[in-house]
Structure 1
Amino acid sequence: MTDDASIRHGDLSDEYKMQFVLLELEHLLRSAATPSTLSDYGLPLPNSNALETLSNRLLMEERNYDKESLTTCYKSAYATLHEKQKHVFDHVMSTLVADQQVLSFVYGHGGTGKTFLWSTIIAKLRSEGKIVLAVAASGIASLLLPSGRTAHSRFKIPQDLTDQSVCNIKKGTHVGILLTETTLIVWDEAPMSDRRCFEALDKCLRDLTGNSNTPFGGKSMLLGGDFRQTLPVIPKASRNVILKSSLPRSYLWRHFKVFKLTENMRLAQPGMTAVERVEVQTFSNWLLDIGDGLLGQLDENDPQNAKLINIPSKFIIPHNENAINDLIDFIYDNDTLACPSPESLSKKAIVCPKNETTDIINNTVLERIPGASRTYLSTDTVIPRSDNSEDIDLLYPSEYLNMLEFSGLPAHKLHLKIGSPVILLRNINQREGLCNGTRLIVTQLLPRVVEAKIITGTAVGRKVYIPRISLTHNDQELPFTFKRKQFPLRLCYAMSINKSQGQSLNKIGVYLPEPVFSHGQLYVALSRATSPNAVKILIVPSDDSNPNVTKNVVYTDFLSEIDTTTTTFA
């Protein structure tokens, strides 16, 4: 019976195995023809706390890890950490051993090994039977974490945030019990999350733990990310509103110790020649200068936030009437388009500042692929905000609704071909690797479902079936809530710069028919490349005398403020 407990619940302690057996025996005795109970035979009844744990699926999932393999994994990973990574690791472990709260932020650009550090810390704690919740701001980043989830789904953070928002978690629920049992929360891409996400979790944890005087109720938090990248996305928001929503503007920020990772782990890749290392180091330094806003001349139209920078010619696709096709040819050669595979598509993409531009690229590439396409049409409806539903129907007929396009929603007409890559627009099943930002390759186009294989994240190669689902857009400026039933997919030969955040690509094209418009966008686009030979940029110049010049938006005073108001520990 204890073997059965291990099969059903994973690696349990002897105490939990005993409680499982007592519970099963109690059920058997009570269901017998002549009911009885364990106490009739001088045996103890199951412990009520153990019963709660065994019935809590979320808690059991977090205890259901192979401790031996995690120990091996941790030891192997720890041996390869560089000095600053070990400094962060040792700080976290020594603080937890001393039964003190960890409140730390790891600040590092792409390639400095933040994800590897998270995995090492998580493996160490889980190998000791401790509960670690790994979350990220975006779905694609959450897939890079061991058993990762998006922060919104894990902590039930409201979509419409206010300063009074609290996570929708109550005491005594399975999620509430899971949080009280948690040793450490690891939160990747934290700068992308609205400060109110952290404040909502802070208020929730203070309530769950009964510790109202300590940040996060005394629970340990390890955050990380790069403030050079894009900040929280707030539609139509001004610079001040965006900065106000950032983590350093939270009352919680002053409690965090900041550790900096600066060593580029890509330089440590085996097989690199000395010349290649110099090239990668030079490229990395150039990217950091772009991210820090150090290059270029002030933009006369926006001198506070933007500079005009000159992109080296080796990265440029010259602008002409065939330039878009030249960019497509650099990323997607004929073999890739004719015989697409997860391997050939997963590490390639073209990125653009806006979704409208990605649609142009996607349709251009789709036309070049052999085979017939299939078009799926959405069903669009509205939910009126008032009682005048008949007037709404007359004012907004289906033909008009079909023309509407909103960020985060699929198009009314979805054109697909077998072999084309798509990106998922909603979290469907994160445990199966299906979350917002997952890329897939279409394998069958069926009437009611789209069959596809996952090509990014932790579930690469898994065959999945994507159904039509109802998606809503709730804009208070509209007299209705818009509802569209469609496959939550978009072609992704090209994707928006914001959607690409968190991905590393072996070949990336950056198409700029107009300049970037928000902090960190150009840095995010260029830093997706894993080497200087992996990137090409197509700029549509506003001035023919400076065809290689584009705008770079960086809130340099914000970055300086973070550097000067925090204490760096590594």
Structure 2
Amino acid sequence: MCSLRTASVFSLLENINWKLFKNKGVHVTRLETLKLLSKEPHLSDKDYAYQAKLDALRTVNLCNEQQVVKDLVLKKEDNVFYTGAAGTGKSILLRSIISDLRKKYGKSSVAVTAMTGIAAINIGGQTLHSFAGFTPQSSLMNIESLHKHLNRSRRIVKRWMKIKALVIDEVSMLDAELFDRLNHVVKNIRCDTRPFGGLQLIITGDFCQLPPVNKVLNYCFEAESWNSLNHAIQLTTVHRQSEQEFIKMLNEIRFGTMSEKTIETINNLDKAPEYKNDGIDVSSEDWEPKNYGQLRSLIKGCLAPLKLPLKINAQVMLTKNFTKQLVNGSKGVVVGWFSIPSMKFYDEHDEVPSDDVTFVLPVVKFTNGQIKIIPWTEWTLRDETDHVVARRIQIPLILSWAISIHKSQGQTLERVKVDLNKVFERGQTYVALSRATSLNSLQVLNFSRDKVITEERVKIFYDLLTKFSGNDVS
């Protein structure tokens, strides 16, 4: 097993550059991959995942209800919330809307945000907290102090003044208080008393998924500012025609109205799908497998771990954008090593390595078939004035034999093993099962009726959406 050690968070490599890997001492082990180095760009958070899907968008025809939503956004310029169950095309519609909004207003005039990092990457944006300038300390401030705090940052003020539209994905995790605070902040910064300072809002997500992580649970639709939306629309057309039975079962689990047939079917999913060494275990918490040969430990906390234990055939996940096709969340398997015998990669606190020390970079084969060398990259921690206060250099990978259900929201997984033993949250079972693409790719352990936890307020909200004509609450 190879352990790649982290360098000093302050002292190493002011700028990561591919020229670093063209030193005379570089040679290739096991794979002829040197030619890749002259072609690959430097890792960049600006290399958004949505670009990998733009070509597909050109050939996708939206259904009638999707086109209605898009017309309300692009032609009428209304504030729109739309929702829907798994398979109703929420994501493809959102990417289409974002693409056309950027053509209409300009890329820098459309703020694309989501409540989780993976969801943000999937739509080519950033987290709402990051864009808004909110920090953990912000939540402790009263609204007047928050106004003063944000207005002191020219960068944040300029950002809010420049945009014309605000997109928010994964709205189930946006609580009412934060939504209202955001409204007050934007009106204050833009000196505009209209809701959200006159910005156009496009909000999407499924309130049946994971709720906000708060002591007091208040959904976004319970906020005073929710009335600033002109339309609330529920998508109902299922586009995954080959998985009608699976989608029907997911809808029953979504609202906790499971038939005996659904319960029996899921209980029979306790056998593993076909094994190809690339499945993902999803559980209610990050767990530590016992099998040392497969994985010594799961890395918790920072996405740039202190030590990254790797071996051939280890399953890994990217934690930074790499190319348009390989982004944060892309999964693969370690298939080899790229040797750098001449690299002196240490800081003043480390013992100086001897001349026979060989540094290596992992070579990963991803699920889309691409094989890439994964270089070191840099994580930075900035304060509220945008100054860098810490850096860490590490390989942008984490082990991915298993992830928590909370971390899985926003991902689609080809083969999934779900352990529901410690489910504790509303929507958790629904999120876990709906990560799979089909029944044939899903294994479920410890399922029972009481593992499906739902929220009555969410049921009432969706009942109202269905009740009103055209599924449009305005």
Q: Under a length normalisation based on structure 1, what TM-score does the superposition of the two structures give?
A: 0.58
Question: Partners of 1:430 and 1:195 in 2: how far apart?
Answer: 35
Mark the runs of 5 or more structure 1 residues left unpaired by the alignment. Answer: 1-60, 97-101, 268-276, 298-308, 318-325, 338-344, 377-404, 472-483, 542-547
**Match in the other structure for 1:477:** none
1:142: how far off? 1.6
**Which of 184, 198, 218 lines up with 1:218 in the alignment?**
198
The equivalent residue for 1:157 is 134
The residue aligned with 2:456 is 556
Choose the corresponding residue for 1:84, options 62, 65, 68: 65
Distance change (3 Å), C-alpha of 1:148 and 1:464: farther
Distance 2:253 2:220 in 1: 22
Give the conservation status (yes or no) of the 8 Å contact 1:139–1:437: no
The alignment partner of 2:425 has SS state of coil
Offset at residue 463 of structure 1 (A): 4.4
The structural deviation recorded for 1:179 is 2.8
Offset from partner CA, 1:340-366 (integer Å, 9 cap, x none): xxxxx3xx311111113xx22xx53x6
Q: In the alignment, residue 314 of structure 2 is paired with which amino acid? A: S
**Aligned 1:294-333 pairs, distance under 5 A:** 294-295=257-258, 310-312=263-265, 315-317=268-270, 327=272, 330=273, 333=275
Give the corresponding residue for 1:532: 439
Tell me the amino acid that sits aligned with residue 263 of structure 1: T
Please state how far the C-alpha of 1:454 moved relative to its aligned partner: 8.8
Matched residue SS, 2:419 = strand
What is the CA deviation profile of residues 476-525 of structure 1, one whole-angstrom value per residue up to 9, with x for unaligned ones? Answer: xxxxxxxx99878642111111111111122211123x241100111011
Instruction: String of CA shifts for 1:67-111, please: whole Å, max 9, x gaps.
Output: xx98x987654xx01011011011112222xxxxx3221111222
Matches within 5 A, 1:7-406: 76-77=59-60, 80-96=61-77, 102-130=78-106, 131-145=109-123, 147-160=124-137, 161-162=139-140, 164=142, 166=146, 169-170=150-151, 173-211=154-192, 213-234=193-214, 237=215, 241=216, 243-244=217-218, 246-256=219-229, 257-267=231-241, 277=242, 280-295=243-258, 310-312=263-265, 315-317=268-270, 327=272, 330=273, 333=275, 336-337=276-277, 345=278, 348-356=279-287, 359-360=288-289, 364=291, 367-368=293-294
Q: Report the CA distance between 1:415 and its aligned residue.
A: 3.4
Q: 1:502 aligns with which of 399, 407, 410?
A: 410
Task: Supply the AA of the counterpart residue of 1:194.
Answer: D
CA contact (8 A) 2:375 2:395 kept: no
CA contact (8 A) 2:86 2:247 kept: no
Cα–Cα, structure 1 residues 157 and 510, in superposed 2: closer, same or farther, change >3 Å? same
The match for 1:5 is none
Give the match for residue 569 of structure 1. Answer: 472
In the TM superposition, residue 467 of structure 1 has moved relative to its aligned partner by 5.8
Amino acid at match of 2:250: L
The offset of 1:226, in angstroms, is 0.5
Cα pair distance change 1:152/1:444, threshold 3 Å: farther
| Percent of paired sites with the same residue | 27
- SS in structure 2 of the partner of residue 252 of structure 1: helix
The count of aligned residue pairs is 386
Could you tell me which residue of structure 1 aligns to residue 427 of structure 2? 520
Give, in whole Å, the separation in 1 of the partners of 2:327 and 2:121.
Answer: 8
**Match of 2:459, SS?**
helix
Contact 1:469–1:487, Cα closer than 8 Å, also in 2: no
TM-score with structure 2 length normalisation?
A: 0.68
SS at match of 1:134: strand
Query: What are the Cα deviations for residues 444-467 of structure 1, in whole angstroms up to 9, with x where unaligned?
Result: 49877864659589x976644346
- Is the Cα contact below 8 Å between 1:351 and 1:511 reproduced in 2? yes
Equivalence for 2:35: none
Deviation at 1:222, TM superposition (A): 0.3
Q: Which has the larger radius of gyration?
A: 1
Change (3 A) 1:177 1:296: same
Relative to 1, partners in 2 of residues 1:76 and 1:124: Cα closer, same or farther, differing over 3 Å? farther
The superposition leaves residues 162-181 of structure 1 with CA deviations (integer Å, 9 ceiling, x where unpaired) of 47364864488344334323
Aligned-pair CA distance for 1:136: 1.3
Q: Tell me if the contact between 1:311 and 1:549 (Cα under 8 Å) persists in the aligned partners.
A: no
Change (3 A) 1:233 1:462: farther
SS at structure 2 position matched to 1:509: strand
CA–CA distance in structure 2, aligned partners of residues 194 and 438 of structure 1: 29
Q: Deviations over 1:416-471 (max 9, x none)?
A: 2234223467xx669989987564644549877864659589x9766443468799
Where do 1:341-490 residues align within 5 Å?
Answer: 345=278, 348-356=279-287, 359-360=288-289, 364=291, 367-368=293-294, 415-423=309-317, 439=331, 441-442=333-334, 444=337, 451=362, 453=364, 455=366, 463-466=373-376, 490=398
Q: Evaluate the alpha carbon distance shift between residue 311 and residue 487 of structure 1 in structure 2; reply closer, same or farther with a 3 A threshold.
A: farther
What is the rounded CA distance, in whole Å, between the counterparts of 2:110 and 2:158 in structure 1?
13
Aligned CA distance change for structure 1 residues 84 and 469 (closer, same or farther; 3 Å)? closer
Shift of the 406–455 alpha-carbon distance from structure 1 to 2, 3 Å rule, reads: closer
C-alpha separation in 2, matches of 1:210 and 1:438: 41
Residue 214 to residue 504, structure 1, CA distance change in 2 (3 Å): same
**Compared CA separation, residues 423 and 73, structure 1 to 2 (3 A):** closer
Amino acid at match of 1:353: S
Cα distance change on mapping 1:432 and 1:110 into 2, 3 Å: same
Structure 2 letter corresponding to 1:192: M
